[in-house]
């Protein structure tokens, strides 16, 4: 069997992890997308990037999409003679939108599509999720990116590397509003501020809020303001992004369920028309804040990563 002479075209959504109290467990897929076109060539590795992250085009084998594709090919036991990658990126890097998860999922889905005819094996969704979680380091973003909607991800106790997830359908009308500052923040910096342990009372309150958030997102959005309160990570990260912490606090005082998006520094506001404060309130508060914020009104992505076959001439 020879390699396909047509490209694999993959579209993957941005994601917002944690959603307040669901630290390293909850993920929400967002209607903002990166697109990857991957083609097998005679030799070498060529990477073209347009949009966000154009500087990564010179990363070679270190590029996250390429690394993910190699990981999938290794599992399949195949190795293409060469690869040409074209990345059209709209997901911001370093703001808490799951850009690394999107790159990983895009690469894995493309490799699955290109490698199946040669290996005679098609990676299962479960295998893709496991590979993605291993490359990312946790499963919340990658699960939401793969499956869309609202996702709860976990690993069973004592079963290292085993990843499970539950996908739930968010309520109709849920509108994610993202407030994006001018400067990014590395996830590693945000994680370095987390304590080794937290008070038992805080953990108990967070468990209650996390359960309540599930109910708020899938059935009763009137719960979202109380449900989105976090005690595990946002208070400890506040010093690294004071503008973000201030905007979250101001939005919440105005009745907007607002949280730090992923590791930040973007802010995620959960708006449900007729139930929570509206998009106009979020925009007005962001405009009045002490630093400029770019307000993005998105939809919930409900499909997850998807693959089509591109024509031979490309996208």
* 119-161 residue pLDDT tens: 999 999 999 999 999 999 989 999 999 999 999 999 887 566 6
| This prediction's pTM | 0.93
Q: Are residues 67 and 108 in the same domain?
A: yes
Q: Are residues 203 and 255 in the same domain?
A: yes
Q: Are residues 120 and 44 in the same domain?
A: yes
Q: Are residues 223 and 260 in the same domain?
A: yes
Domain CATH number, residue 103: 3.30.230.10
Report pLDDT digits (tens) over 170-225: 999 999 999 999 998 877 777 788 888 999 999 999 999 999 999 999 999 999 99
Q: What residues have CB less than 8 Å from 73, skipping those under 6 apart?
A: 79, 80, 111, 115
Q: Are residues 183 and 151 in the same domain?
A: no
Where helices occur in the chain by DSSP H, the ranges are 64-76, 99-119, 125-136, 140-147, 187-192, 200-218, 224-227, 234-237, 242-253, 279-288
Q: Are residues 54 and 147 in the same domain?
A: yes
Per-position b or e across 219-255, b if 16+ CB within 10 A of its CB: eebebbbebbbbbbbbeebbebbebbbebbebbbeee
149 lies in which domain range?
A: 8-168+303-309
Give the whole-angstrom CA distance, residue 307 versus residue 286. 36
Report pLDDT digits (tens) over 81-128: 999 999 999 999 999 999 999 999 999 999 999 999 999 999 999 999
Q: Is residue 315 part of a domain?
A: no
Please, are residues 210 and 26 in contact by the beta-carbon 8 Å criterion?
Answer: yes
Q: Is residue 314 part of a domain?
A: no
Say what the pLDDT of residue 170 is: 97
- Tally the residues of the chain: 315
- Predicted confidence band of residue 313 (pLDDT cuts 50, 70, 90): very low
Report pLDDT digits (tens) over 212-268: 999 999 999 999 999 999 999 999 989 889 999 999 999 999 999 999 999 999 999
Q: Is residue 2 part of a domain?
A: no
Please, are residues 204 and 183 in contact by the beta-carbon 8 Å criterion?
Answer: no
Per-residue pLDDT at 69 exceeds 70: yes
Domain CATH number, residue 283: 3.30.70.890
SS3 33: strand
Q: Is residue 254 part of a domain?
A: yes
Q: Are residues 141 and 282 in the same domain?
A: no
Q: Are residues 206 and 264 in the same domain?
A: yes
Q: Is residue 119 part of a domain?
A: yes
Q: Are residues 25 and 155 in the same domain?
A: yes
Q: Are residues 203 and 85 in the same domain?
A: no
Q: Are residues 164 and 180 in the same domain?
A: no
Please, are residues 271 and 279 in contact by the beta-carbon 8 Å criterion?
Answer: yes
Q: Are residues 293 and 208 in the same domain?
A: yes
């Amino acid at each position: 069997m020879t390699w396909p002479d047509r490209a694999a075209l993959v579209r993957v959504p941005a994601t917002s992890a944690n959603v307040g109290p669901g630290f390293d467990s909850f993920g929400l897929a967002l209607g903002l997308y990166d697109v990857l076109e991957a083609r097998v060539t005679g030799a070498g590795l060529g990477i073209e990037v347009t949009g966000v992250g154009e500087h990564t085009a010179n990363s070679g084998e270190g590029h996250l999409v390429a690394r993910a594709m190699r990981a999938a090919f290794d599992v399949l036991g195949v190795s293409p003679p060469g690869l040409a990658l074209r990345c059209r990126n709209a997901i911001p890097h370093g703001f808490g939108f799951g850009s690394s998860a999107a790159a990983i999922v895009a690469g894995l889905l493309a490799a699955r599509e290109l490698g199946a005819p040669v290996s005679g094996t098609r990676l299962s969704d479960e295998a893709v999720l496991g590979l993605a979680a291993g490359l990312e380091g946790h499963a919340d973003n990658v699960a939401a990116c793969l499956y869309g909607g609202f996702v709860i991800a976990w690993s069973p106790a004592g079963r290292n590397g085993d990843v499970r997830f539950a996908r739930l359908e968010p309520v109709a009308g849920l509108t994610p509003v993202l407030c994006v500052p001018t400067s990014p923040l590395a996830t590693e910096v945000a994680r370095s501020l987390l304590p080794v342990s937290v008070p038992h009372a805080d953990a108990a309150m967070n468990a209650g809020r996390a359960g309540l958030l599930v109910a708020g997102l899938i059935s009763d959005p009137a719960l979202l303001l109380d449900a989105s309160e976090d005690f595990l990570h946002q208070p400890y990260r506040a010093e690294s992004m004071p503008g973000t912490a201030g905007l979250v606090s101001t939005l919440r005082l105005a009745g907007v369920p607002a949280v730090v998006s992923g590791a930040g520094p973007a802010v995620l506001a959960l708006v449900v028309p007729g139930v929570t404060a509206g998009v106009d309130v979020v925009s007005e508060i962001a405009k009045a804040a002490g630093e400029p914020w770019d307000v993005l009104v998105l939809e919930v992505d409900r499909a997850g990563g998807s693959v089509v076959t591109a024509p031979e001439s490309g996208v």
